[in-house]
């Protein structure tokens, strides 16, 4: 079977989703997990866009060893120079240059005629080729570009040295049959296309990014550009997990293979969701909370008799470990640690002790602790930033005829500081008290609460987005008490503000 190259652009196109900004440390953590997932190419960022993006690409290029590390650049020398510098320490560098080719983009955005666009594309590829043998070119808005001009551009950049040409459906306009036909026509009409890798990059504005990508594969594309959880600007990109599992599940229709370690998919999805603050919808294909859950009696009966009656893939395929071992308040460290290992977590002794104590506290409140509870505990407890402020105590007074009041006690280094405040509701009162104690007042941009597991004793997970000095900081908190989870999420965001300095 032919291999489909998986090009992950979570750290570049995915991060362009409004509100998904990541710190360099977080980008490196995701890049390392993408390496564990075994993606072929990591598009680490757009170096010329900002010093932060440049730094992230440079660090990822240095730290990542197996995958190709790619940097994006417009068809401008300054962009290509920035990409070259950021990729200096990459073991397998790629420069990805792009230039719009559709009539609407050339007229209103570039304000250049076809001849000038063609010349600029060729010059950009030749210039990039001076720094690396691996150069990719994308004609932006290719799906709305006049075919004859598209063929000319592709032929020219291939002659100039492009080793991969990528066909983007930049605004998610194409239909699957139409997009597949475009790929077939490119293969039939572009000289030299058989000597390079033909790639596709589809957006999800009409919900067709994955369908268009699979149609392109059927018609000759051998690289797919995608993101974890379908993250990306507007409606997002083609979801990596959906493309990979479609290929794996339907080999009868798609006789191809990928290098992806599918058992790392669920863990990667959770990591990206946690660090970006973008929760995965429950009914999301492959990685959604309900993807392998069955409530209907008929479905349950079928699953008990033979899982394949209602499951076309197993949860273990994506690394979602379902165990018959029930964890509760009588479980010991050994059983708890074994479950963590099955879920893909390897903790140091001190981290394990902290997580185990949280597990015991939760087990006292719940009859059964589910895998999702444990994942939430780990993500909440094993922090990636110093805990400058720590929630010690919280007391809420609230009611229909009572002004909501919160008394909050925080630990700062070796000091305990307490204050109280009132607000429009218990959460507002709590946040006002935290602001008074820390002296940090941000603007709450988003507040999301969800149940991690089912039942009246479910673990509540709160995500907040706090705007401070023009930047967004995401905080998370998870406990069975949603007010406490709200406070923890807010303190978590405050700690990120302090850490950022």
pLDDT in tens, 417-449: 999 999 999 999 999 999 999 999 999 999 989
**What was the pLDDT predicted at 20?**
85
**What was the pLDDT predicted at 324?**
40
Shared domain for 230 and 151, answered yes or no, is yes
Shared domain for 173 and 258, answered yes or no, is yes
Q: How far is CA 7 from CA 4, 71, 179, 448, in A?
A: 9, 12, 19, 31
Q: What is the CATH number of the domain that holds 437?
A: 3.30.160.270
Shared domain for 268 and 360, answered yes or no, is no
Q: What is the CATH number of the domain that holds 172?
A: 3.20.20.70
Structure tokens at 143: 């799906």
**What was the pLDDT predicted at 304?**
59
* Domain presence at residue 481: yes
* Domain presence at residue 483: yes
Shared domain for 306 and 241, answered yes or no, is no
Q: CA-CA-CA-CA torsion for 138, 143, 148, 154, nearest 10 degrees? A: 20
**What was the pLDDT predicted at 37?**
98
Shared domain for 366 and 316, answered yes or no, is no
Shared domain for 468 and 375, answered yes or no, is no
> Which segments in the chain show pLDDT lower than 50?
295-297, 300, 323-325
Q: Give the total number of structural domains in the chain.
A: 4
Residue 147's domain spans which residues? 2-276
**What was the pLDDT predicted at 213?**
98
Residues 114, 149 contacting (CB under 8 angstroms) = yes
Residues 443, 468 contacting (CB under 8 angstroms) = yes
**What was the pLDDT predicted at 370?**
73
Burial class (CB in 10 A: 0-12, 13-18, 19+), 413: exposed
**What was the pLDDT predicted at 361?**
83
Shared domain for 171 and 302, answered yes or no, is no
Structure tokens at 248: 């794996």
Which segments of 134-258 are extended strands (E)?
135-140, 164-169, 197-202, 223-226, 256-257
* Domain presence at residue 24: yes
**What was the pLDDT predicted at 251?**
95
Domain boundary among 381, 402, 431: 381
**What was the pLDDT predicted at 402?**
92
Name beta bridge partners: 473: 466
Tell me how far apart the alpha carbons of residues 291 and 233 are, in angstroms, rounded to a whole number. Answer: 24
Between vectors from CA 275 to CA 488 and to CA 378, what angle results, nearest 5°?
A: 60
* Domain presence at residue 283: no
Shared domain for 406 and 444, answered yes or no, is yes
* Domain presence at residue 284: no
Unique residue bearing structure tokens 């001009």: 149
Shared domain for 296 and 344, answered yes or no, is no
Domain boundary among 243, 276, 309: 276
**What was the pLDDT predicted at 297?**
46
* Domain presence at residue 286: no
Unique residue bearing structure tokens 């990667």: 268
Shared domain for 250 and 325, answered yes or no, is no
* Domain presence at residue 331: yes
| Gyration radius of the chain's alpha carbons | 25
Shared domain for 238 and 107, answered yes or no, is yes
- Chain segment 157-216, per-residue pLDDT in tens: 999 999 999 999 999 999 999 999 999 999 999 999 999 999 999 999 999 999 999 999
Tell me how far apart the alpha carbons of residues 284 and 296 are, in angstroms, rounded to a whole number. Answer: 19
Shared domain for 108 and 234, answered yes or no, is yes
Reported as type and span, the H/E element at residue 417 is: strand 415-422
| pTM confidence score | 0.75
Mean of all residue pLDDT scores within the chain: 91
User: What's the DSSP call for residue 420?
Assistant: E
* Domain presence at residue 67: yes
């Amino acid at each position: 079977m032919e291999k489909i190259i998986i090009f992950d652009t979570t750290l570049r196109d995915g991060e362009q989703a409004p509100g998904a900004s990541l710190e360099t440390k977080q980008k490196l953590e995701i890049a390392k997990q993408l390496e564990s997932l075994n993606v072929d190419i990591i598009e680490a960022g757009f170096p010329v866009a900002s010093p932060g993006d440049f730094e992230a690409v440079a660090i990822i290029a240095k730290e990542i060893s197996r995958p190709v590390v790619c940097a994006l650049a417009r068809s401008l020398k300054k962009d290509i120079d920035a990409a070259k510098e950021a990729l200096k320490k990459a073991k397998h560098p790629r420069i990805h240059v792009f230039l719009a080719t559709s009539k609407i983009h050339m007229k209103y955005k570039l304000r250049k005629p076809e001849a000038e666009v063609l010349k600029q594309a060729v010059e950009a590829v030749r210039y990039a080729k001076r720094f690396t043998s691996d150069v990719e070119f994308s004609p932006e808005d290719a799906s709305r570009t006049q075919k004859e001009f598209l063929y000319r551009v592709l032929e020219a950049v291939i002659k100039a040295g492009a080793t991969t040409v990528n066909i983007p459906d930049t605004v998610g306009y194409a239909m699957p049959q139409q997009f597949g036909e475009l790929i077939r026509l490119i293969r039939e009409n572009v000289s030299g296309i058989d000597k390079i890798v033909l790639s596709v990059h589809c957006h999800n504005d009409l919900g067709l990014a994955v369908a268009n990508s699979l149609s392109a594969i059927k018609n000759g594309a051998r690289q797919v550009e995608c993101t974890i959880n379908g993250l990306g600007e507007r409606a997002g990109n083609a979801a990596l997990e959906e493309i990979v599992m479609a290929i794996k599940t339907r080999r009868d229709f798609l006789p191809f293979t990928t290098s992806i370690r599918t058992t790392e998919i669920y863990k990667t999805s959770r990591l990206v969701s946690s660090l970006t603050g973008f929760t995965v919808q429950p009914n999301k294909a492959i990685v959604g909370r309900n993807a392998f859950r069955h409530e209907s009696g008929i479905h349950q009966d079928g699953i008990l008799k033979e899982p394949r009656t209602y499951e076309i893939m197993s949860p273990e395929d994506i690394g979602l470990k379902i165990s018959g071992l029930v964890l509760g308040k009588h479980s010991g460290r050994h059983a708890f640690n074994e479950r963590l290992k099955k879920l893909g977590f390897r903790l140091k002794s001190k981290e394990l002790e902290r997580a185990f104590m949280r597990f015991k506290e939760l087990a006292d409140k719940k009859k059964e602790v589910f895998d999702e509870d444990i994942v939430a505990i780990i993500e909440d407890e094993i922090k990636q930033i110093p805990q400058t402020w720590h929630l010690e105590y919280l007391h809420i007074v609230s009611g229909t005829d009572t002004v909501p009041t919160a008394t909050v006690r925080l630990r700062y280094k070796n000091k305990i500081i307490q204050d109280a405040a009132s607000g429009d509701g218990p959460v507002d009162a709590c946040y006002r008290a935290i602001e008074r104690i820390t002296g940090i007042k941000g603007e709450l941009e988003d507040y999301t609460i969800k149940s991690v597991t089912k039942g009246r004793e479910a673990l509540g997970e709160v995500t907040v987005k706090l705007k401070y000095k023009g930047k967004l900081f995401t905080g998370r908190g998870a406990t069975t008490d949603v007010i406490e989870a709200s406070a923890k999420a807010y303190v978590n965001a405050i700690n990120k503000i302090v850490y950022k300095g």
